[in-house]
Structure 1
């Protein structure tokens, strides 16, 4: 990467400050906050013309002549847009004040009178007869039905002549009004009528308005001067209607027109289901710094904790050394690769640097829960509650604290509170499903996990939870389907493949079970990379210690297939894990094994019986005597020894 100069830093800082202003003007406050934090994280490079020894009076005189940051130069480069924004200034300020007070309908009505349809278009139109929105079993229409209802209309621009900024604010406030009304009309979380099917009834009108506006711009040859914000809003509407391919196309168009709207990148990331789709969309994106940040974020969301991703992160941290966002991404990369110690260190440092920062604290609480760090989790819950007890992240932190104390009812109460605040808060759905499993409420657990995957199909924990729950219900084919979805998202997690192998065994498909267990062995060696990224053995290193339980299960599958020699081979490999792999650097000639476990003792017992069946009494006697020393399977081992002695004394010589 080229050296980052002061000129580069100043240009990037001005651009990010401009993004803060532009996003704030359009009431995209989360995107504005993200850009502002990134701007502040840039290093303050020394000026070549610094004059620390200059006279104080002359410095004071220079203050008035300092240039104003380009971020606060409000003049629009498009003369027509600048003229419209000047004319609308008073109305724009009024509308924005209404939006800030959450009076969304009033905000929209400042620019657009309430003439747009709030529901589906009239079904009396011949073109719409086949596209009338239908009712679901819960008595609610799907959002995609409302979008479908306007697809076949011939769109004309019915909007008044407005600047793009005013039009975005008016339509975005209409969208927010629909979301607010949708939440108000929704049933209680997991209540009897809560099927997650309540819709935003403003989508149809917004869709028709935007399509008419875009068609009119294109007909007049003005599409080249679009600013990217309305494309972003149209992408959101299409994504809500499950028209994902079109939504991706419009988000890509939006980030080409204005790359520093972080919200557009976030929405685009949510529409990518796997690494292949991320690689496919890469060439379509603008080649700039924001694309690099997006690629890092999307890879982290897809659980890609690889060396190239860490190199990308290192490059970005060279530019933004103080970025809390990038430090959080590194912590999440360690979290996804199950390196909880490293992730906890980073989150702890972030908490000390900014104790009022609530973002991503739900992930930190998950890490502390897995580590059983109850005092730290209690402290985190106290800090989060003191800062803002009505944030979904805070509710998840407190819920995890009660879950660690095994107070599952209280944990569920806090997870439900998080979902009352934000029904699309993924962590709460998944964690609530875990708690319902602990409470043996399988129906509520299944519904929680289903809602989690509705929010985010990339949440492997929810897919795995569905598999576990159906396995408890002994519905193994269902469990197998969900475990396979989890394994496809986490192909290097041995736990996923072990679950798939177990399900194949229970549906009596031993060949597929063996394949799944062997995938688990490969995945297990991938994860043996040590506590820090890139250290330890490499992925697939054959000298690493293998999981004895997986080896034992493979042996049992070969036994089911009536292939005793293969079964014996894997039982021997299971037994070998006690001593560990051979290591030439080890003076004793052996590595660090796992020692005697119940699984290795079972394998030793199986091998003793197998050798006994072959007539190899000497080897069988050795194995049986070892079992007596292990203290596992002792009675069976003694019985086998008595049987062998009786046979040997009767004059039968071992083969």
Structure 2
């Protein structure tokens, strides 16, 4: 019995000793790695000052860690402290010259600081190390664009799009298409947009651009299809369905136009769409339906859209409510933003003359002649 009684106190003593020892010490390497992860998480959360402090603490432990300059550089870049970011990435490329991202970020910063030749050199080094660096390709494209080198800009934006994925692929392609559009190179816009869609880049922006190009080329059925797909991929944009409706009207397909306009109204109730529907009903000799649409237009009018108000005034005049139409035009033509719109002033003057409103007629005529010296005779 005595040996057994002595075992219990011994176990208690061993357990107490184990508790006194505490957790094993953390190595310097593990501590530094923890600080790196902490600093990265703080950076991603937008806690830039805290992130810099974590990276500084890490530097005290492992001053030669090649990840530190780039990590600190990214933080400074996000803070808009370009000169400090530049210094960090200049050190980063010296420490790790084979890392393409270091050269890419350095080139981007140099470009922001207006150091164009240096930026081009850095970006080309990044691409030489990693040809699919779409950030470097995009930055080079922007530099070429600033220098007026449009073909090179388009080439680099296209290469960047090919290297990118997700939403960036479409956005970069749109940069190329926008440059071509600004240069009025519409045939190239059509060719490239059609090719992109065929290859699976079917974002609303690319499809809309294709639709625009097809309209210019007179290919209306294809344009309607492009806009319709764009509308289906952009459920919050009512204007795309409106474009589909307009094309169907030009193709003399009122039934398809009505269906498209109704889809637009499902997205957002807008007066201009009700006006368009009213015109279709008038063309089909359905005056009651047109008047219903006029009522809906008046209920949904925002009062801020010039196009909306002008079209509403025109519809009111067509349906015999000319005094109401003149009230809208009188108010609109007197606004400071529209006093130099000679066409609007002449439209107002014509209706004022018809309704024998001398005051509005004279005011509109005066504004029309002041806005356009070519207006020799006012209604």
TM-score, normalised with respect to structure 2? 0.53
Contact 1:398 1:411 in 2 (8 A): yes
Structure 1 counterpart of 2:192, from 513, 535, 560: 513
Report the CA distance between 1:513 and its aligned residue: 2.4
How much is the aligned-residue C-alpha RMSD, in angstroms? 4.3
Structure 2 counterpart of 1:573, from 206, 219, 229: 229
Higher Cα Rg, which structure: 2
Determine the C-alpha separation between the residues in 1 that align with 2:297 and 2:54: 49
Q: Does 1:404 align with 2:78?
A: yes
Q: Does 1:559 align with 2:196?
A: no
Report the CA distance between 1:557 and its aligned residue: 1.7
Contact 1:500 1:513 in 2 (8 A): no
Q: 1:420 to 1:515 in 2, by over 3 A?
A: same
Report the CA distance between 1:627 and its aligned residue: 12
Report the CA distance between 1:465 and its aligned residue: 1.9
Contact 1:551 1:571 in 2 (8 A): yes
Determine the C-alpha separation between the residues in 2 that align with 1:489 and 1:639: 47
Q: 1:380 to 1:486 in 2, by over 3 A?
A: farther
Matched with 2:203 is 547
Report the CA distance between 1:607 and its aligned residue: 5.0
Q: 1:511 to 1:388 in 2, by over 3 A?
A: same
Q: 1:394 to 1:489 in 2, by over 3 A?
A: same
Report the CA distance between 1:499 and its aligned residue: 3.6
1:589-600 alignment runs, 5 A limit: 595=236, 600=237
Contact 1:429 1:449 in 2 (8 A): yes
Classify the secondary structure of the residue corresponding to 1:406: coil
Matched with 1:256 is none
Contact 1:604 1:623 in 2 (8 A): no
For residues 557-600 of structure 1, the C-alpha deviation after alignment (integer angstroms, 9 at most, x for no partner) is: 21222223332333333333454xxxxxxxxxxxxxxx3xxxx3
Q: Does 1:466 align with 2:140?
A: yes
Q: 1:446 to 1:577 in 2, by over 3 A?
A: same
Determine the C-alpha separation between the residues in 2 that align with 1:392 and 1:407: 21
Determine the C-alpha separation between the residues in 2 that align with 1:613 and 1:491: 37
Determine the C-alpha separation between the residues in 2 that align with 1:396 and 1:632: 53
Q: 1:356 to 1:553 in 2, by over 3 A?
A: same
Matched with 2:274 is 622
Matched with 1:356 is 32
Matched with 1:494 is 170
Q: 1:391 to 1:354 in 2, by over 3 A?
A: closer
Q: 1:470 to 1:376 in 2, by over 3 A?
A: farther
For residues 433-478 of structure 1, the C-alpha deviation after alignment (integer angstroms, 9 at most, x for no partner) is: 2223433444433222112123333433212221232233332210
Q: Which runs of 5+ in 1 are unaligned?
A: 1-352, 524-545, 580-594, 651-655
Determine the C-alpha separation between the residues in 1 that align with 2:245 and 2:46: 40
1:51-200 alignment runs, 5 A limit: none
Classify the secondary structure of the residue corresponding to 2:32: coil
Determine the C-alpha separation between the residues in 2 that align with 1:630 and 1:472: 42
Contact 1:389 1:395 in 2 (8 A): no
Matched with 1:413 is 87
Determine the C-alpha separation between the residues in 2 that align with 1:368 and 1:647: 64
Determine the C-alpha separation between the residues in 2 that align with 1:432 and 1:603: 41
Contact 2:70 2:89 in 1 (8 A): yes
Determine the C-alpha separation between the residues in 2 that align with 1:628 and 1:453: 57
Q: 1:494 to 1:613 in 2, by over 3 A?
A: closer
Determine the C-alpha separation between the residues in 2 that align with 1:606 and 1:567: 9
For residues 108-127 of structure 1, the C-alpha deviation after alignment (integer angstroms, 9 at most, x for no partner) is: xxxxxxxxxxxxxxxxxxxx
Matched with 2:240 is 603
Structure 2 counterpart of 1:434, from 108, 115, 125: 108
Matched with 1:14 is none
Matched with 2:97 is 423
For residues 471-495 of structure 1, the C-alpha deviation after alignment (integer angstroms, 9 at most, x for no partner) is: 3333221022223333443466434
Matched with 1:446 is 120
Contact 2:170 2:203 in 1 (8 A): no
**Structure with larger RCO (C-alpha < 8 A, sep 6+):** 1
Contact 2:144 2:153 in 1 (8 A): yes
Q: 1:391 to 1:629 in 2, by over 3 A?
A: farther
Q: 1:646 to 1:389 in 2, by over 3 A?
A: farther
Report the CA distance between 1:401 and its aligned residue: 0.7
Q: 1:429 to 1:610 in 2, by over 3 A?
A: same
TM-score, normalised with respect to structure 1? 0.33
Contact 1:498 1:516 in 2 (8 A): no
Structure with a larger share of its residues in helix:
2
Q: 1:440 to 1:576 in 2, by over 3 A?
A: farther
Classify the secondary structure of the residue corresponding to 1:643: helix
For residues 281-326 of structure 1, the C-alpha deviation after alignment (integer angstroms, 9 at most, x for no partner) is: xxxxxxxxxxxxxxxxxxxxxxxxxxxxxxxxxxxxxxxxxxxxxx
Matched with 2:150 is 476
Contact 1:627 1:637 in 2 (8 A): no
Q: Does 1:386 align with 2:60?
A: yes
What count of residue pairs does the alignment treat as equivalent? 254
